Structure 1
């Protein structure tokens, strides 16, 4: 093994190559990997799937009115269950998050400074989501929960 093949000289050569050709020494971090952006990406996909399945079921159960009005009335009767009211609250929460996060994604994609401020935009989305959901949940749960506890 010559002096030129020592690990030290190889690492110096590698560093020189990286400096000359602008090769990063570490892999560039992504916008999403393991951070808030990744979780907003996951939540956006999950809420999108939930909304899609709701719309599918909604179209199917609404189409029952043409086939069998009695079956339609039976399905609508099951929706008057208080537990379905909790499901409605979850659906509204998913829709509101999906809408606000969609606007954040548009800002990140089309605003020049969007990627730089993506974390702050996400916290803004979560803040708007809470501000929107708290009044809705107060109203919705005041309607849904009393029947569960024996109220009217």
Structure 2
């Protein structure tokens, strides 16, 4: 059940990002100055953290989507769905830990100027 909830939450998160992306990009046609102001607000540490969360959401949604496809279309899928879920979580954790390394390195360079 929790994988179902996480799949729906990540899907809504991705949809929200795409909606905001389309709206802020369309703003350039209305007022280039307003567009520049909006894009400038994206260059904050909070938005950087949100971008990392977006990567986490897209990655989990994609991996879990492959698991859902396997459960639905593979005759032995329902039997192995729990093992596949733990595999998805494991792969997701490894990839997210690998993705945070450059983020932390960049943050350290920004903070300490090395």
TM over 0.5: yes
Residue aligning to 2:55? 92
Cα contact 1:86–1:144 (8 A) shared by 2: no
Listed as ranges, the gaps of 5+ residues in structure 2 are none
Residues 33-112 of structure 1 correspond to what in structure 2 (within 5 A)?
Answer: 38-112=1-75
Cα contact 1:47–1:98 (8 A) shared by 2: yes
Q: State the TM-score, normalizing by the size of structure 2.
A: 0.92
Structure 1 runs (4+) deviating above 3 angstroms are 144-147
Partner Cα separation in structure 1 for residue 89 and residue 29 of structure 2? 41
- Tell me the secondary structure at the aligned position of residue 117 of structure 1: helix
Partner Cα separation in structure 2 for residue 107 and residue 84 of structure 1? 34
Question: Cα distance 1:118–1:112, how it changes in 2: closer, same or farther (>3 A)?
Answer: same
Structure number with larger C-alpha Rg: 1
Number of residue-to-residue matches in the alignment = 113
Tell me how far 1:141 sits from its aligned partner.
3.2
Greater RCO (Cα-Cα under 8 Å, separation 6 or more): 2
Question: Cα distance 1:133–1:59, how it changes in 2: closer, same or farther (>3 A)?
Answer: same
Listed as ranges, the gaps of 5+ residues in structure 1 are 1-37
Structure whose residues are more often helix by fraction? 2
